Amino acid sequence: MQHPIFDYLSRLEQNNNKIWFEANRKEFESTRNELIAIASNLIEQISAFDESLGQLEAKKCIFRQNRDVRFSKNKKPYKTTMSAYFAPGGKSSSSAGYYLHLEPGKSFAGGGIYSPQPDILKAIRTEIYFNGSEFESIINDKEFINVFGELMNEKLLRPPKSFPPEFPQIELLKYKHYVVSRNFDLEKMNSADIESFAIETFKSMFTFNSFLNRAVNNAE
């Protein structure tokens, strides 16, 4: 039996218009409450091993369903995904955090820092420059590789400015994002299964996020 979140998202994908959405608003609210409950449980469980989260409210971690269509050729009004980002301050945080993405056939858990602001990105690269061996040991850890494989492989073609190109770990400074993810098929899982899989994933990246947030704190 398909989880209610995926059942709703599948039908939203086939009926992505305001008339259908409003006619089924009660179902949307019920589905969103399912995600809020999952997010609340995840916050409690993440906080057990990552105290930096603080007192987070689940609703502040969940992304809006409406799409920003102002600069997009795709004018469909609603996202056909549901997602949440767990980091100090909630979904708008500049800190490294934990991300849950629910989408029929394309769900994943992961995190880190995606598309950081220039000052944050430079701070991360500086942290790696001075502590490259530490960062390398984190991303080359056997468990880390088994769970995530490699970092999201979107890189600069040339070494970033302000860093010597002969730096031995220069490839680690070329990343545009410092993100990892783990795909999974959650559609036939219940909420407890989703939470269990997400927490297992998030625990595996705690040291990774801690390193990144050390850099973020230095930039602030």
Q: How sure is the predictor about 122, in pLDDT bands with cuts at 50, 70 and 90?
A: very high
Mean pLDDT (whole number) for 7-15: 97
Half-sphere CA count of 129, side-chain side, radius 13 A: 17
Cβ distance 21 to 78 under 8 Å?
yes
pTM: 0.95
H helix or E strand, kind and range, residue 170: helix 170-173
- DSSP secondary structure letters along 49-102: T-GGG-S--GGGGBPPSB---TT-S---SB-S-EEEEESTTSTT-SS-EEEEEE
Kindly list the domain boundaries of the chain, sorted by start residue: 4-219
Cβ distance 9 to 81 under 8 Å?
yes
Q: How sure is the predictor about 125, in pLDDT bands with cuts at 50, 70 and 90?
A: very high
Going by DSSP bridges, is the β-strand pair 82-86/178-183 parallel, antiparallel, or unpaired? unpaired
Mean pLDDT score across all residues of the chain: 94
**Topology (CATH level 3) of domain 4-219:** BirA Bifunctional Protein; domain 2 (3.30.930)
Token pair for 129: 């420059």
pLDDT tens figures, 159-184? 999 999 999 999 999 999 999 999 98
What is the rounded distance in angstroms from the CA atom of residue 87 to the CA atom of residue 177? 16
